[in-house]
């Protein structure tokens, strides 16, 4: 659409857009169109920067709402839940120089 300013993307919105585009490419337009009950051309227009409602605008909307797009197999954890485990691992591994340091033997050589 002529005369419309380009959307400004934050880093997070850019990452969201990248994930969405990668998954669209992996899944394909035909399965997406069938799932959405629209023509493939409608799915194609989502990728067009000239379309009013495209993936870029959707990415900005998700970012504004504080949401992310991640692959289904990913798990999300709150930082306060995972930080203690990271600290524990760091403390343990600061003395490890190689895999041999992890071997427990009753009689040291």
Cα–Cα dist 109/107, whole Å: 6
Q: Running along the chain, 109 residues long, what does each successive block of 10 average in pLDDT?
A: 66 93 94 96 89 89 93 88 93 84 71
pTM given for the model: 0.64
Question: Residue 62: what pLDDT?
Answer: 95
Token pair of 72 as six digits: 């289904």
Quick one: how many helices (H) and strands (E) in the chain? Answer: 5, 0
CATH-assigned architecture of domain 11-102: Orthogonal Bundle (1.10)
87-96: burial string, b at 16+ Cβ within 10 Å, e else: eeeeeeeeee
pLDDT number for residue 57: 92
Residue 4 in tokens: 């419309």
């Amino acid at each position: 659409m002529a005369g419309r300013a380009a959307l400004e993307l934050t880093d997070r919105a850019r990452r969201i857009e990248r994930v969405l585009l990668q998954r669209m490419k992996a899944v394909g337009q035909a399965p997406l169109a069938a799932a959405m009950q629209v023509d493939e051309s409608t799915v194609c227009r989502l990728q067009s920067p000239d379309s009013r409602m495209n993936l870029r605008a959707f990415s900005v909307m998700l970012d504004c709402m504080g949401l992310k797009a991640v692959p289904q197999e990913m798990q999300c954890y709150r930082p306060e839940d995972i930080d203690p485990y990271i600290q524990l691992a760091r403390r343990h591994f600061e003395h490890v120089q190689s895999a041999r340091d992890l071997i427990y033997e009753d009689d040291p050589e």
